[in-house]
Chains A and B, each alone.
Chain A
Amino acid sequence: MGATVVTITSGKGGVGKSTTTANLGIALAKLGKKVVLIDADIGLRNLDVIMGLENRIVYDLVDVVEGRSKLRQAMIKHKQFPDLYLIPAAQTRDKTAVSPADMIQICNKLRDEFDFIVIDSPAGIERGFRNAVAPADRVLIVTNPEVSAVRDADRVIGLLEAENKGPGEIILNRLKMNMVKKGEMLSAHDVTDILGIAIIGIVPEDELVIPASNSGVPVTLNDQSRAGIAFNNIARRLTGENVPLMKLEEHTGFFQRLARFFGGS
Chain B
Amino acid sequence: MSLWDRLLRRTTRDGSSSVAKNRLQVVLVHDRINLPPERLRELKEELLAVIARYVAVDHDSVAITVEQPDRSSSRLIAEIPFGKGKSLLLDTSLKDDSYTEDDDLRPEADRPADDGTRPPAASADAAQADGPAADTPPPDSGATAADA
Contacts and interface: CB of A to CB of B under 8 A. Distances in A.
Contacts of B92: none
* Interface range on chain A (Cβ under 8 Å from partner): 20 to 34
Contacts of B15: 182-184
A196 B71 contact: yes
Contact of B32 (A158, A184, A186, A197): A158
B2 interface: no
Given A151-B28, A157-B71, A196-B71, A183 B11 contact: no
Contacts of B16: 183-184
A181 B24 CA distance: 20
A154 B17 contact: no
The SS class assigned to the B binding surface is helix
B23 interface: yes
B17 A184 contact: yes
A190 interface: yes
Contacts of B7: 254, 257-258, 261
Given A180-B17, A183-B17, A183-B18, A147 B24 contact: yes
Given A157-B71, A180-B17, A261-B6, A150 B31 contact: no
Contact of A185 (B3, B17, B24): B17
A195 B21 contact: no
A181 B32 CA distance: 30
A205 interface: no
A151 B32 contact: no
Contact of B28 (A183, A194, A197): A194
Given A183-B16, A257-B7, 19 more contacts: A147-B20, A155-B31, A157-B71, A158-B31, A158-B32, A158-B71, A181-B10, A182-B15, A183-B18, A184-B15, A185-B17, A190-B21, A194-B21, A194-B25, A194-B28, A196-B70, A252-B10, A254-B8, A261-B3
Interface of A: 146-147, 150-151, 154-155, 157-158, 161, 167, 180-187, 190, 193-197, 252, 254, 257-258, 261
